[in-house]
Structure 1
Amino acid sequence: MRKILISLSVVLCAAPANANDDTRAAAQKAARQMMEDAFVYLGAAYLCQDALGTSHYYAARSAVEQSAILGGKSQTDAVIIADDFDKKIRRDNQKKAPAANDQKCLDSILATQTSLRVSQARFKQARDADN
């Protein structure tokens, strides 16, 4: 009987640690997805600058910074992350969408923005489950 109680207490003590590890892993996965979605949103806004102007691009860049801060980065780090994303997007995408593609661009920006908002919500949910 004593061995069973000791085994049970070991299992019960280990369960919260495993749960914490699982929730931390879920939060890390959600954070990675959030930043990937932020990058895609910025990329879509960058590609559509000629069609829609720069306001969507700067809104996306702010969203990247906000996502990084939400993920635990400092304001300074968030600005640098957004700048690094910008440099990568500009380097990898030399051609922008023509001005005639305004509706397609707007649809793309709104879809990527929605994906980011969902990712942010999933991250918040995973982060809060870890506390």
Structure 2
Amino acid sequence: MSILGVGFDLVNVTQFAEQMEKIGTTMVRDSFTAGERRHASTKSAEPARHYAARWAAKEAVLKAWASSRFARPPQIGDNPYPLIEVVNDAWGRPSIKLHGMAAEFLPTVKIHLSLTHDGDMAAAVAILED
């Protein structure tokens, strides 16, 4: 067992919600899978908190991935966000499911994930383990 990379991200929920609501801006909304959109919309009356935490998770995974590739090309692609999906088990514990190119580049990597939100902030930590 060895740690390949660690990533952390912090998101302001209000600012993130405003970004999602901008007319003509679909990049943020399109960065979430159908399952993530379903989870955020049914989890509470404040879906922006759940979207923000998931965005932080995607960013944390990308940062951990980038740190694991130090001094080598990132091999991430143009829009990696839909390739990184936050899923929950039956008890609500979050985990990462990789798709497409992300799954190909990290086939044996275990990703540890922790999400939190408090007040107007959401955060995530991701640790890549080989």
Regarding TM over 0.5, the answer is no
Higher helix share: 1
Q: How high is the TM-score relative to the length of structure 2? A: 0.31
